[in-house]
């Protein structure tokens, strides 16, 4: 038996519908896979954002504060070596020395950030060791009031970088600035000031002997009260201004290239002597 062939148009229609059906299935499958992938990616992204803290929380640190303590009974000398901080020397109703450090530093630090407060025989020592923090710090040394009165002790301050501000009454007072700014007020029997690249502003009363040396930096020293018996001033490639109590002085000046402005009342018979040396520097005494 012979079956009649279907019309040619019918074959083409059936084939076309088959191709379209297959193509539609493939596209639908791909779309479904794409939707599932997007959903999975969205879940992973959401989880990632939930698990990872903001960058500022990862890399920022809150200001922290710690305090060190040391006995000062019987102490006759105070040595301070300060660097990379704003350092203040104050007095209060405290039974012992207190060194308060406030600033920011990396995690894992004990909070002292290299600062040391300790006794070495009759000397109270404050210094900083190790790698210095790049963060700004505020450091305050609080001493019992009696230690800063009636010249009960001697004070030696060495400022490497940063700033120092203090006061007090001391027997021997030594202030040294490398790169930074130092301010001090008080009284002392003997005064020594050294300034390299930084600045120093000092006002001290009743000094018997004073020595001030400036190299490149700027120094301003004011002596009040009883006039000193001996003053030695030296400046090289910097500027120095010294104000002395009003009286007559025997003044000896030596200048090389620099300029010395002497406004003091002078007398060859005076027992109070002032020696001034300037090298490529400006010195004013008044």
Residues 155 and 194 in one domain: yes
Q: Categorize the per-residue pLDDT at 256 as very low, low, confident or very high, splitting at 50, 70 and 90.
A: confident
Which phi and psi angles does 162 have, rounded to 5°? 105, -145
Residues 31 and 124 in one domain: no
Q: With helix as H, strand as E and coil as C, how does 147-201 read?
A: HHCCCCCEEEEEEEEEEEEEEEEEEEEEEEEEEEEEEEEEEEEEEEEEECCCEEE
Block residue for tokens 């002292």: 112
Domain around 113:
62-285
Residues 147 and 33 in one domain: no
Residues 84 and 19 in one domain: no
pLDDT digits (tens, 9 = 90+) for 66-95: 999 999 999 999 999 999 899 999 999 999
With 0.85 as the threshold, say if the pTM is over it: no
Is 241 within the bounds of a domain? Answer: yes
Domains in the chain, number = 2
CB neighbour list of residue 152: distance below 8 Å, 6 or more residues apart: 76, 146, 169, 171
pLDDT digits (tens, 9 = 90+) for 108-146: 355 677 899 999 999 999 999 865 555 568 999 999 999
Contact (CB, 8 A) for 216 and 234: no
């Amino acid at each position: 038996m012979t079956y009649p062939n279907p019309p040619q148009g019918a074959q083409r229609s059936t084939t076309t519908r088959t191709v379209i059906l297959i193509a539609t299935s493939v596209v639908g499958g791909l779309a479904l896979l794409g939707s599932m992938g997007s959903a999975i990616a969205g879940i992973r992204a959401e989880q990632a954002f939930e698990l990872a803290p903001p960058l500022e929380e990862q890399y920022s640190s809150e200001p922290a504060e710690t305090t060190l303590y040391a006995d000062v009974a019987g102490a006759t000398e105070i040595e301070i070596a300060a660097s990379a901080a704003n350092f203040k020397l104050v007095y209060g109703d405290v039974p012992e020395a207190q060194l308060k450090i406030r600033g920011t530093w990396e995690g894992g630090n004990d909070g002292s950030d290299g600062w040391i407060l300790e006794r070495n025989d009759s000397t109270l020592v404050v210094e900083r060791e190790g790698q210095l923090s790049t963060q700004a710090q505020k450091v305050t040394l609080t001493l019992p009031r009696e230690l800063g009165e009636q010249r009960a002790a001697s004070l030696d301050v060495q400022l490497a970088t940063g700033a120092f501000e203090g006061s007090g009454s001391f027997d021997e007072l030594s202030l040294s600035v490398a790169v930074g700014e130092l301010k001090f007020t008080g009284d002392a029997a003997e005064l020594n000031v050294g300034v390299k690249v930084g600045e120093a502003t000092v006002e001290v009363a009743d000094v018997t002997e004073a020595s001030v040396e400036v190299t490149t930096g700027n120094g301003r020293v004011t002596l009040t009260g009883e006039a000193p018996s001996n003053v030695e001033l030296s400046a090289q490639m910097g500027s120095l201004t010294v104000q002395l109590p009003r009286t007559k002085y025997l003044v000896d000046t030596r200048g090389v290239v620099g300029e010395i402005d002497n406004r003091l009342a002078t007398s060859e018979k005076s027992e109070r002597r002032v020696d001034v040396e300037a090298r490529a520097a400006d010195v004013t005494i008044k």
